[in-house]
Amino acid sequence: MSRQTLGVWGSLRATFGRELLILWRSPGDIVNPLMFFVIAVSLFPLGGDADPTYLSGIAAGVVWVTALLAVMLSMESLFRSDYEDGSLEQLLLSPQPLYFHLLAKVAGHWLMTGLPLVILSPLLAMMLALPDEAYTPLIIGLLVGTPTLNLIGAIGMALTVGLARSGLLLAVLVLPLSIPVLVFGTGMVQAALAGLPYTGLVALLGALLVLALSLAPLAIGAALRISVN
Amino acid sequence: MWQWLYKLGSPRHFYEMTTSFLPWLKGVTYFLLIVGLVWGLGFAPPDYQMGDNYRIIYIHVPTALGAMWIYVMMAVMAAMHMIWNIKVADMVAKSSALVGAGFCAVALFTGAVWGRPTWGVYWIWDAKLTSFLILFFVYIGVIALRSAFDSETSGSKAASVLTLVGVVNLPIIYYAAVWWNTLHQPPSELSLSSQGANPPEIWIPAFFTGFGLIGLVFVFVIMRTRNEILWRERRAQWVQDLVKQEAGRA
């Protein structure tokens, strides 16, 4: 009998594929954050002022803040069902480095939940009368920023997955830590509207992403080991 | 030295050592605070621009600095707890969280009270104010996470991880806030920046209250840690002996 062992790359692909497949088979986990995104954004003209000049001033901030909240609400599907059916324990026991498993898992999750948010954002920005020159920085910012939000959210989710009701606690933990991404992301749009270059801010967002990619999986792993116990 | 540090890791030894040490610390702390406050509030000369309003710095600045350094202390303790599994370190971290949140709240409150007469508003979204508000949120998050767990060990490990994540993130938040603020509005010029121009009659009382409040941090943290030790070790023989002894004395 020969033992087949997967290399790091193989395990990374397997985890990634599994994450995509699981999310694909539960469309609610993909659609609900998007619906939340659309509905929450549409509340601002209703609750505030439908005047386009007012809306264009707050458009980028509203899109960014609601995207941040939507990412946070989508985190539940990252670990919850795996925790309940025991596959999270198997992941922690696997001989391949946990770091790469988690990186693949978060990447797969971002592709299915974060990327749709980015794709949908120009439509919502248009409904909020965002000026033309601000679309490119908004989309680039969300593209670079949402993976960081996913990684930070995954730390919070990993810390709270063992608790029965974690929704509000997750918000308390994750939102303060997400502020730099929000500040740089909306800053890009403000800079573009003022006619200033925003490449420096893209670089800062990229630096945050690299930092999160290199450190967050370690924190997620430590947190999962505590939660699974 | 190492022996001494090593012994501090034992809850019982920590308790016994602080029993003899705490009265002295309290005495020095109260002396510094009373001298500093009476001097600062009663006798230091008024500022030529802000009049008597500035006197709140004797509380505001030390609590603000304290709120930041308590987080650093908490993070060091969390790291010690994670790496060497030292229980006392975790108890100190738990005690520090609430004290840090309290100092943060006092710094925010005194800042608002000071801001009203000098800036004309209680609150502005200035970088310093904003990053302190976020620091306060992070403290609240650590406290909330720990209390959400039923199991003591899981709660303390989770809080340690979050504390360490926070210590990586807080400098970034601070610089993000500084950058963000400078785009929207010019930074408010605090007269503190001209500390060097202030005469000794003004800054010496601040020296007293500063050290007094540092002492107060340690008094609070040590007292809370001692309670925590008694609670977690409540089934140990030495704690039960201690309780019997106290009951006999009363």
Residue B198: predicted pLDDT: 58
Best of A64, A166, A173 to mutate (most B CBs within 10 Å, chain B): A173
pLDDT at residue B192 tops 70: no
Structural domain contains residue B126: yes
Tell me which residues of chain A have a C-beta less than 8 Å from any C-beta of chain B. 155, 159-160, 162-163, 166, 169, 172-173, 175-177, 179-180, 183-184, 187, 190-191, 208, 211, 215, 219, 222-223, 226-227, 229
Label residue B101 by pLDDT band (50, 70, 90): very high
Give a yes or no: residue B66 inside a domain: yes
Query: Would you state the pLDDT for residue A95?
Result: 84
Q: Is residue B231 one of the residues assigned to a domain?
A: yes
Distance from CA of A185 to the nearest CA of B (A): 11
Contact B137 A219 (CB under 8 A): no
Contacts of A78-85 with CB under 8 Å at 24 or more apart are A78/A105, A78/A106, A78/A109, A78/A153, A78/A154, A78/A157, A79/A154, A79/A157, A79/A158, A79/A161, A79/A224, A80/A157, A80/A161, A81/A22, A83/A161, A83/A162, A83/A227, A83/A228
Note whether residue B2 is domain-resident: no
For chain A (length 229 residues), average pLDDT per consecutive 10?
Answer: 68 90 90 94 89 89 95 91 90 88 94 94 93 92 96 94 85 91 91 89 94 94 90
- Domain limits, chain A: 8-228
Return the biggest CA–CA distance within chain B: 66
Contact yes or no for B154 and A172 at CB 8 A: no
C-alpha dihedral sign at B212, B213, B214, B215: positive
Longest dimension (CA), chain A: 72
Chain B CA closest to residue A165: B148
Give the pLDDT confidence of A162-180 residue by residue, as tens digits.
888 778 899 999 999 999 9
Instruction: Report pLDDT for B86.
Output: 87
Domain that holds residue B97: 22-185+207-239
H or E element at residue A75 = none
Residues A177, B82: C-beta atoms closer than 8 Å: no
DSSP conformation letters of chain B = -HHHHHHHTSHHHHHHHHHHHHHHHHHHHHHHHHHHHHIIIIISPPBTTTBTGGGGHHHHHHHHHHHHHHHHHHHHHHHHHHHH--HHHHHHHHHHHHHHHHHHHHHHHHHHHHHHHHHSSS----HHHHHHHHHHHHHHHHHHHHHH-SSHHHHHHHHHHHHHHHHHHHHHHHHHHHHHHHHHSPPP--GGGGGGGS-HHHHHHHHHHHHHHHHHHHHHHHHHHHHHHHHHTTTSHHHHHHHHHHHHH-
Q: Is residue B155 part of a domain?
A: yes
Task: Tell if the CB–CB gap between B161 and A177 is shorter than 8 Å.
Answer: no
Confidence (pLDDT) at B184: 45
Report how far residue B119's alpha carbon sits from residue B116's, in angstroms, rounded to the nearest whole number. 6
* Percent of chain A clearing pLDDT 70 (strictly above): 98
Identify whether B249 is part of a domain: no
Asked if B180's CB is within 8 angstroms of A187's CB, the reply is yes
Number of domain units in chain B: 1
- The continuous run of DSSP H or E covering A198 comes out as none
Note whether B211 contacts A: Cβ–Cβ < 8 A.
no
For A178-214, how does the pLDDT look when each residue is reduced to its tens digit (9 = 90+)? Answer: 999 998 999 999 899 888 888 989 999 999 999 999 9
Closest A-chain CA to B140: A172
- ipTM comes to 0.85
Q: Does A173 contact B179 at a Cβ distance shorter than 8 Å?
A: no
Answer whether residue B143 is part of any domain.
yes
Indicate if the pLDDT at residue B183 is higher than 70.
no
Give yes or no for B75 touching A (CB within 8 A): no
B39 vs B220, higher pLDDT: B220
Q: Do B154 and A227 touch (CB under 8 A)?
A: yes
Here the tokens at position B21 are 């040490």
Report if residue B13 sits inside a domain.
no
